[in-house]
Structure 1
Amino acid sequence: MPLPLSPAQIRSIVESQDAPIALWSGAVSSGKTIASLLAFLLRLAVSPDQGLVVIVGRSLNTIERNLLDPLQSAHLFGPLARHVHHTAGSTTATILGRTVHLVGASDARAEGRIRGSTIVLAYVDEATLIPQPFWMMLLSRLRVGNQSRLMATTNPDGPFHWLRKDFILRKDAIGLHHWHFTLDDNPSLDPQVVQRLKAQYTGLWFRRFILGDWCLASGAVYDMFDEHRHVVDILPYMRRWTAVGIDYGTVNPFSAVLIGQGEDDHLYAVSEYRHDSAKALRQLTDAQYSHNVRQWLANVRRPGEQGGGRGVLPEWIFVDPSAASFMNQLWTEHVPGISPAVNDVLDGIRSVGVALGSGLLRIHRSCEGLLGELPGYAWDEKAAERGEDKPLKVADHSADALRYALHSTAHEWRHLIDYKEVSGAAA
């Protein structure tokens, strides 16, 4: 093989061949996917012809990106890559001469795609993201005597997740073999890549994706937030006015947060507009909110300019996607740059956590609503006990506005993180 294998990878590949259920879990980029795919290829080569071979992922796109693209890489799999054939968008691939069915399992209804099948070999990517009913149906389809095998990878989730509770903790009783991987188990990783990965994950995700812990989503969501590190009184000149994030509310507070990129290449929450109808004893209409947001932006002071210029035109205004009527109001008034925000809550929290944890994001002291919410923004521990990662829906309006602005533009700013600086701060 072109890439070296660690003792942990080799051991898992060998031991998995006789395991009815084989599970690789642990840190991101720890080598578990390469080891599991090699194990899959070895098992595929000796599997009986009766029964289907399936690869399961969250979607066809994730299967292509996470599995088929690596399998077709000569850098990773050498001559074996020539025996992996797939046309983008097709629900089958040919691997080592066998037809392999590609099954997306984004919800419980996906179990209908394998119901009635007889499966001899299954590979599951990111098993914690697969619905439990689908997993259980998949197990029931492995019925080619003692020749059927299920191989799966995953990053850890919460300690009450069904995969840990019903399978990992009962592994001896059900014939599951489990290998836990850390970053040190991947000998091909460059030390700078390790440093970058450690900087990209903070809080809950650092524990899960770097340390490989199956840990509870508890306590503060942004436990890396530090007033002394993140709050500033003086702003630099802004080379870009990147985005505004808006969390819409009528009974609940309406919040808008303006993000700029300073000449020092840090991101700044420069200013905030907030209307709390409960405190003001007055609800506003969409037209009134639109007027107020435009007036607020027209009066934002541009720091670092002689004469104290005012008024900014952000590149984007990302609005809570559920606020369709407010977006229509803005579009009707020809406000530029309006777009529904990317509202993947957990991924968005992770983006904000990366910006805070790396020190890239600073917040001006005038953003009182945001600064009042961030320290108390907490995980819902009752939801965590049900196996769900959810923040409490309490005092989160400015925090949501910040998430909309940052996560919707994450591709614009991640390259700004100085990983050497992060490593030095962590040390």
Structure 2
Amino acid sequence: MLDLDRLPLSRKQLRSIGHATARINLWHGSVRSGKTIASLLAFVIAVATAGPSGLIIVVGRSLQTIERNVLEPLQDRALFGPLAQHIVHTRGATTATILGRTVHLIGAADARAEGRLRGLTAQLAYVDEATLLPEAFWTQLLARLSVPGARLYATTNPDSPRHWLKVSYLDRIAELDMRAWHFRLADNPSLSAEYVASLAAEYTGLWRKRMIEGAWVVAEGAIYSEWDEDRHAVDELPPMRRHWLGVDYGTTNPFSAVLLGLGADDRLYACAEWRFDSRAAHRAMTDAQYSAAVRAWLADMDVAPEWTFIDPSAKSFSTQLWQDGHPGVARADNTVADGIRSVAALLAAGRLFVHRSCDGLLGELPGYAWDPKATERGEDAPLKINDHSVDALRYAIHSTSHEWRHLLSLNREQTPTPYDQPR
């Protein structure tokens, strides 16, 4: 049913599959390095040979990520051949069938998910993206793997060197019944040179070290180290093909709306900014007043953004805009780390520029920094000061990433220089 010889596996992948016999088995390293395929094969082999006692569990950040990262690859006939027909799952269901065995699917987005494990006795567990899980959930999962010979299989991209998975497990591997394999892009024999180059262009700074080089490195200093006002700030704008709006809502804190445009030169521009600081103005504005002000600002520019992405916590303002007939109101994608990476990739690739009229944004970008106290806890989090316009920019950019991601793979000579820079 499963012929490893027919699969384009590297020696490291084959070695990890054959030696994944410890209580804890961890594949970690860069994206698309082959670690997931190796771990899935090892897990399926374990399912095929497991005894009848104890549950089999698959864990991920959410049911959707489990379906995308675990079940869909297993059902890919191009990858797994005849095995794929023995992976049965109905989208949205909390169980799947793998080689005739019932497998329980558990999402673990926060510490409360730990309760879903209480009372269970498990013999096998597969964990997707282990660093994204709460430590308490991981600890409880290991406690539930109480059947003799029970095993855990897990994958992850690197995180902070102070992350609990690194400190309490990888750094103590000699003391534990644990095996781990570190993967780099070069360990995946199926990737073309063109794809590797394109993937590398999407990651810069901290994320390049983690996602491309596979290193557990600390976040420190400026978040947008790629930012250079002399290079990225412009006085003129090209004709715009499309517009989107990002809004960071504030009452006691500043309110910021950043208009993002896709230029005719295939570059993104922070075209304009509307900002109100209630503290500086010594007066507050209601949701209705904010709505009227933003809509009047857009009307003055004769711009109708396709979508307006709003801080997800600002439900009352979203409702107000909708009631006022503002089109395309949507919750912003507020995954902070991924959003920061999207902005950083565009800056590094020379695909994002800021018009000099955006005073708030220009003032915040150079000082936007990692929180050292969060870093000490093994977390990546920005300091929550002077971040209102950069958050609005992040909302607009990351929420539209599917619209512009292809621009990162374009060669610089394929598009003209930024509109107002010397040619």
- Taking structure 2 as the reference length, what is the TM-score of the superposition? 0.92
- RMSD over aligned CA atoms reads 2.1
The amino acid of 2:163's aligned partner reads H
Superposed, 1:180-195 pairs within 5 Å as 180-195=182-197
Alpha carbons 1:111, 1:133 under 8 Å: kept: yes
Q: CA deviation at 1:92?
A: 2.1
Q: Deviations over 1:289-323 (max 9, x none)?
A: 333323322333xxxxxxxxxx2121122222333
Deviation of the 1:422 alpha carbon:
10
Structure 2 letter corresponding to 1:124: V
8 Å Cα contact 2:56/2:122 also seen in 1: yes
Change (3 A) 1:320 1:83: closer
Tell me what 1:415 maps to. Answer: 406
Corresponding residue for residue 41 of structure 1? 44
Q: Deviations over 1:135-181 (max 9, x none)?
A: 11111122222x21111111111111111111111111111111110
The 5-angstrom pairing of residues 112-131 of structure 1 reads: 112-131=115-134
Q: Does 1:251 align with 2:252?
A: yes
Q: Pick from 92, 99, 110: which aligns with 2:113?
A: 110
The aligned runs of 1:153-232 (5 Å cut-off) are 153-232=155-234
1:9-88 → structure 2 map (5 Å cutoff)? 9-16=13-20, 18-88=21-91
Count of aligned positions: 412
2:140 matches 1:149 = no
Q: Please tell me the residue identity of whatever aligns with 1:174.
A: L
Letter in 2 for 1:59: S
Aligned to 1:327: 318
Give the corresponding residue for 2:344: 353
Once residues 341 and 315 of structure 2 are traced to their aligned partners in structure 1, the CA distance between those partners, rounded to angstroms, is 25
Contact 2:198/2:409 (CA < 8 Å) preserved in 1? no
Look up the SS of the partner of 1:94 in the other structure: strand
Letter in 1 for 2:48: A
Pairing 1:315–2:315 present: no
Q: Secondary structure at the match of 1:417?
A: helix
CA contact (8 A) 1:118 1:143 kept: yes
Q: Map Cα deviations across residues 311-342 of structure 1 (whole Å, 9 max, x no partner).
A: 21211222223333333333333222333322
Structure 1 residues 422 and 95, CA gap change in structure 2 (3 angstroms)? farther
Change (3 A) 1:231 1:85: same
What secondary structure is seen at the aligned counterpart in 1 of 2:19? helix
User: In the TM superposition, what is the alpha-carbon distance from 1:90 to its structure 2 partner?
Assistant: 2.3
| Residue of structure 2 in register with 1:306 after alignment | none
Question: How big is the shift at 1:277?
Answer: 3.0
- Relative to 1, partners in 2 of residues 1:73 and 1:364: Cα closer, same or farther, differing over 3 Å? same
Q: Deviations over 1:260-308 (max 9, x none)?
A: 11111211111111222333344333343333323322333xxxxxxxx
Measure, in 1, the Cα distance between the counterparts of 2:307 and 2:19.
52
Residue 198 of structure 2 contacts residue 408 of structure 2 at CA under 8 Å; is this kept in 1? Answer: no
Distance 1:75 1:107 in 2: 35
Shift of 1:185: 0.4
In structure 1, the partner of 2:327 is 336
Aligned equivalent of 2:391, options 394, 397, 400: 400
Deviations 1:351-379, CA, capped at 9 Å, x for gaps? 22232222221111221211111111001
Q: Which residue of 1 aligns with 2:420?
A: none
* Distance (whole Å) between structure 1 residues aligned to residue 54 and residue 231 of structure 2: 58
- TM-score, structure 1 as length reference: 0.91
Check conservation: 1:108, 1:131, Cα contact below 8 A. yes
Name 2:421's counterpart in structure 1: none
CA contact (8 A) 2:368 2:382 kept: yes
Task: Name the structure 2 match of 1:307.
Answer: none
Percent identity for Structure 1 against Structure 2: 61
SS across alignment from 2:411 = helix
CA contact (8 A) 1:247 1:255 kept: yes
Instruction: Give yes or no for the alignment of 1:275 onto 2:266.
Output: no
Are the aligned partners of 1:3 and 1:75 in contact in 2 as well (CA < 8 Å)? no
Separation in structure 2 between the aligned mates of residue 47 and residue 336 of structure 1, nearest angstrom: 55
Distance 2:37 2:264 in 1: 41
In structure 2, relative to structure 1, the CA distance for the partners of 1:115 and 1:405 (3 Å cut) is: same
Decide which moves more: 264-273 or 84-93. Answer: 84-93
Q: Compared with structure 1, are the counterparts of its residues 221 and 109 closer, same or farther at alpha carbon in structure 2 (3 Å cutoff)? A: same
Structure 1 counterpart SS, 2:382: coil
The answer to whether residue 129 in structure 2 is matched with residue 138 in structure 1 is no
> Which stretches of structure 1, 4 residues or longer, exceed 6 Å deviation after superposition?
422-425
1:93 counterpart = 2:82: no
1:87 Cα offset (Å): 2.1
Aligned twin of 2:297: 296
Distance 2:85 2:413 in 1: 41
CA contact (8 A) 1:57 1:104 kept: yes
Q: Report if the CA contact (8 A) 1:20-1:175 is conserved.
A: yes
User: Which residue does the alignment assign to 1:5?
Assistant: 9
CA distances 1:36-89 after superposition (whole Å, capped 9, x unpaired): 111112222222222222211112221111111111112111222232222222
Q: Distance in 1 between matches of 2:31 and 2:109?
A: 21
Between the aligned partners of 1:374 and 1:4, the Cα distance in structure 2 is 45
**Structure 1 unaligned regions, length at least 5:** 301-310
How far apart, in 2, do the equivalents of 1:117 and 1:291 lie? 54
Q: Secondary structure at the match of 1:101?
A: strand
1:79-108 deviations in Å (ceiling 9; x for gaps): 222322222222222222222222222222
